Chains A and B, each alone.
Chain A
C-alpha cells in the first residue's frame, strides 16, 4: 500500500472525509444517547430535590412553577407536608462561572433560611472550581442554616460573609451569584 502523496488536493480530500465521517458518527451517537442522558439528568434532579428539602409528602415535581429572571427561567419545586409548605427547592443558575454556566439546586425554608445546596451542573476547573460541590470541600456547608437577611451572600473580598475557596475567587463568586438569584426570586413572590 503506497502512502498518499502530500499534495494539496490529497490533503483536502482526506481531511474532509475524516471530519465528515467523524461528525456523522458523533451525530449518530448523540441521537442514541439523548434519551438515556435526559433520564439520568432527571434522576439526578429528583435526588437533588430530595437532598435540599426537609421531609415532605407531596410531589414537588408536579407542582413546579416558573419565574422569569434575567432573561432566563428559575424552576421552583414546593415541598409540603400535609398541605403545609415546608420548603422550596429552586433550580437556579449563574452565567458568571469560570467556564460556562453553573446550575445549582437551592433548598429554601419558608422563612428564607437556606436549608441545603447541591451542584447540578458545572464545567469549572477540576481540583479548583469543582470544590464547590458537596463532599469535595466544606465550602457549600457554610450556607446551611443561614438566612440571607443577615448573611451577606458575597465573598469576603467583595464585602460579604462567604469564605471563598482558595485560588477560586471567580467560581466562588459565581456560586454566590446563583444562590442570591434564587433567594431574591423567592422573596419576590416565589414563596407560594
Chain B
C-alpha cells in the first residue's frame, strides 16, 4: 500500500494546483469550460507519466550537470507528440487547446516531478507519483472549469440550463483568480479536518 501513498500525495495532500500552486499558467488560461479543463488535464497527465517513466529509466545514464537540459528535451518531445496526436485525432479540442499545448513544456509541475521525484525514485513509485499528480491536476482543472462554466456561461459540459449569458467575469481572467481562490479555501478547510 506504499504506492497508494505516492498516488494520494499528488492527488490530494500535495495537489499541484490547490496546495503546491504549480502549473497555474495553463490552469488559469484554459479553464473557461469543463471540457477544456479535462482535455488540458489529461494531456498534462500523459506528458507527466511518459516523462516520469523515461526520466526514471534513464536516470543513471544522465550526468548530474546536464540533467535539466536532458529532462527538458524529453518533456518537450512528449509535448510535441501530444500536439501532433491531438491535431490528428481530436481537431475540435485542438482548436480550443492548441495554443496552450506548447505551454505544457514550461509547466513547472512536469519538470518539478522529473527533477524532484522521478530522478531519485524507482520505476513504480514514479509511475504512481505521475498518475497521482496528473489526476490531481486534472481534478483541479475539472472543478475550476466547472465553476467557471456554470457561473460564466450558465452551462455544464456544453448543456445550457439558463437562457442568455452568465456572469461574463468568470469567463475572463479575473474570474479564474476569484474561483481559484475560493476553491483553495474549501480545499484548505477539508485538509485541516483530515489532518
Q: Is B121 located at the chain interface by the 8 A CB criterion? A: no
Contact B60 A3 (CB under 8 A): yes
- Report chain A residues within 8 Å CB of B159: none
Q: Is the interface of B mostly helix, strand, loop or mixed?
A: helix
Residues of B within 8 A of A29 (CB): 80-81, 84-85
- Would you give the shortest CB distance from B36 to chain A, in whole angstroms? 11
Any chain B CB within 8 A of the CB of A126? Answer: yes
Chain A residues, CB < 8 A from B80:
26, 29
Which residues of chain A have C-beta atoms less than 8 A from B61's C-beta?
4, 14, 17
B155 to chain A, nearest CB (A): 14
The answer to the question of B65 belonging to the interface, with a C-beta cut-off of 8 Å to chain A, is yes
Contact for A11 among B63, B84, B91, B173, CB less than 8 A: B63
Kindly state whether residue B99 has any CB partner on chain A within 8 Å.
Answer: yes
B134-164 CB contact bits vs A (8 Å, 1 = yes)? 0000000000000000000000000000000
Rounded to whole Å, the gap between the CB of B72 and the closest CB of chain A is 10
With a cutoff of 8 Å between Cβ atoms, the chain B residues found around residue A55 in the complex are: none
Task: Kindly state the separation between the CA atoms of A18 and B66 in the bound complex, as whole angstroms.
Answer: 11
Q: Which of A96-149 contact B (CB under 8 A)?
A: 123-127, 130
- Docked Cα-Cα span, A40 to B173, in Å, equals 31
Task: Report whether over half of chain A's contact residues are helix, strand or loop; otherwise say mixed.
Answer: helix
**Which of B60, B63, B77, B81 sits near A1, CB closer than 8 Å?**
B60
Closest to B102 in A: A123
Chain A interface size, as a band, is 20 to 34
Give chain A interface residues in 1-28, CB to chain B under 8 Å: 1-7, 10-11, 14-15, 17-19, 22, 25-26
Partner among A4, A7, A37, A123 whose Cβ is within 8 Å of the Cβ of B60: A4
Q: Are B73 and A40 touching (Cβ within 8 A)?
A: no
Closest B residue to A130 using CB positions: B99
Please indicate the chain B residues that have their CB under 8 angstroms from the CB of A123 in the complex.
99
Q: Return the chain B residue nearest A36 by Cβ.
A: B88
Inter-chain contact A19/B99, CB cutoff 8 Å? no
B58-81 at interface with A (beta carbon < 8 Å): 58-66, 69-70, 73-74, 76-77, 80-81
Q: List 13 A-B contacts (CB under 8 A).
A: A5-B63, A6-B64, A11-B65, A17-B61, A18-B62, A22-B76, A22-B77, A36-B88, A36-B89, A40-B88, A125-B99, A126-B99, A130-B99
Top 4 nearest A-B pairs (CB, nearest first) are: A36-B88, A40-B91, A33-B88, A6-B65
